[in-house]
Amino acid sequence: IVETISAKAKAGVLVRLLLDALGGRAMRKLEPLLAGSGVKLAYFFPRVSRFNYRNHRKIAVIDGRIGYCGGYNIGEEYLGRGPLGYWRDCAVRVQGPGVEQLQIRFMQDWAFASREQATNPSPYLQAVPQNSSAMLQQISSGPDTSQEWVKQSYIKMITMAKESCYIQTPYFIPDASVIDALRIAAASGVDVRVMIPCKPDHMFVFWASQSFCADLLEAGVRSFKYNNGFLHAKTFIVDGKVGSVGSANIDPRSFHLNFETNVIIFDEAIGGQMKEAFLRDVAVSTELTPQDYAKRGWVVRFKEPFCRLFYPIT
């Protein structure tokens, strides 16, 4: 990837690479190669005093005509070479007028991180015809926003569900408002399902997530643990008609501390595809039932409340 973007920059393409200073620290050694090729590189919040506020967004925009948004990072873990094996993730490719929302989001972040004077965005916003009936809404939130827009969008999607609400997230640490919304939806007869990984990448989050899933079993919320690798996707599917794909997990960090971006898609065809993908993942997952959960050993019984208590400081 580094070779490809370097070649594009040498060919005269304007390439901007915005990295989170913590998550992208391994790229420091490649700075001479990138800079020498003409790639413009900026780091988000490199100062230690801003260590806790991370840019977790994953956005790519090509020529103002094609955009990508989802949970995918750029790393070797997606080649299946890491200890977790295959990574199951999700992103959406956007073409049409919706790309403009992602372009503006990126340009705002770039201007902040690079300290470059904000430029007229018009040259980067292409007049692209709408070739689909699908409607799209970009949702962003972070420490700089007055409202927790991502969390509010999740709660709205849960409460609007009439038939089903399917959720995938690697980190499931919901607050009281999300828990209440899930319980009310399940009590109303909505088929509510939450899928988390079977393999942990962060031990504290893993055991805390399982604990929260177990709490919701009595309310009728079904929980599944994905077995076919590591689940990194962050998706919501409501009634097979509305879907959300993006970077935000269901945890306090995504809701309060990280800069996140999701894309909500209003379209039955795409929503149906997302629902089918979720059900395929269910087929390679293990359901967490009250009976199985009651059989867990004393070590797990200790880990869950311990990790749940100390997760906020990890």
More confident residue, 172 or 79: 172
Q: What is the pTM assigned to this prediction?
A: 0.92
pLDDT band at 180 (very low <50, low <70, confident <90, very high): very high
Question: With 90 as the cut, is the pLDDT of residue 130 above it?
Answer: no
C-alpha distances in Å from residue 36, one per residue of 31, 32, 41, 184: 8, 6, 11, 56
In percent, the amount of the chain with pLDDT more than 70 equals: 94
Summarised one tens digit per residue, pLDDT across range 87-104 is: 999 999 999 888 999 999
Is 201 an annotated catalytic residue?
A: no
pLDDT bin (cut points 50, 70, 90) of residue 137 is very high
pLDDT, tens only, 292-304: 888 889 998 998 8
Catalytic site residue from 151, 225, 232, 275: 232
Is residue 191 among the annotated active site residues?
Answer: no
CA 205 to CA 178: how far, in whole Å? 17
Q: Which residue has the higher pLDDT, 295 or 176?
A: 176
pLDDT at 238 (0 to 100): 98
**Is residue 122 over pLDDT 70?**
no
User: What confidence category does residue 116 fall into, taking pLDDT thresholds of 50, 70 and 90?
Assistant: confident
pLDDT digits (tens, 9 = 90+) for 193-220: 999 999 888 889 999 999 999 999 999 9
Residue 252 pLDDT > 90: yes
Q: For residue 139, what pLDDT is reported?
A: 97
Q: How far apart are CA 109 and CA 37, in angstroms?
A: 23
**pLDDT exceeds 80 at position 60:** yes
Residue of 20, 58, 241, 303 marked active site: 58
Average pLDDT over the chain reads: 91
Is 58 catalytic? The answer is: yes
**Percentage of residues in the chain with pLDDT exceeding 90?**
72
Q: Write down the catalytic residue from 109, 239, 251, 281.
A: 239
User: pLDDT category, 119, cuts 50, 70, 90?
Assistant: low
- Span 69-82, average pLDDT: 87
Dihedral sign of CA atoms 182, 185, 186, 190 in order: negative
Q: What is the per-residue burial (b if ≥16 Cβ within 10 Å, else e) of 190-218?
A: bebbbbbbbbbbeebbbbbbbbbbbbbbe
Catalytic-role residue among 10, 63, 162, 292: 63
**pLDDT score, position 228:** 94
CA-wise closest residue to 165 among 143, 141, 188: 188
Active site residue 63: yes
Q: Which of 109, 151, 225, 234 is catalytic?
A: 234
Contact 138, 263 (CB under 8 A): yes
User: Is residue 84 predicted with pLDDT exceeding 90?
Assistant: no
Q: Which CATH number fits domain 68-96+127-313: 2.70.150.10, 3.30.870.10, 3.40.50.720, 1.10.150.120?
A: 3.30.870.10
The confidence score (pLDDT) of residue 128 equals 60
Domain regions of the chain by residue span: 1-51, 68-96+127-313
289 Cα distance to chain centroid = 26
pLDDT given for residue 307 in this prediction? 87
Q: Which of 37-51, 64-78, 165-179 has the highest mean pLDDT?
A: 165-179
Q: For residue 208, give the amino acid letter.
A: A
In the set 56, 151, 225, 241, the catalytic residue is 56
> Which is more confident, 64 or 310?
64
pLDDT at 51 over 80: no
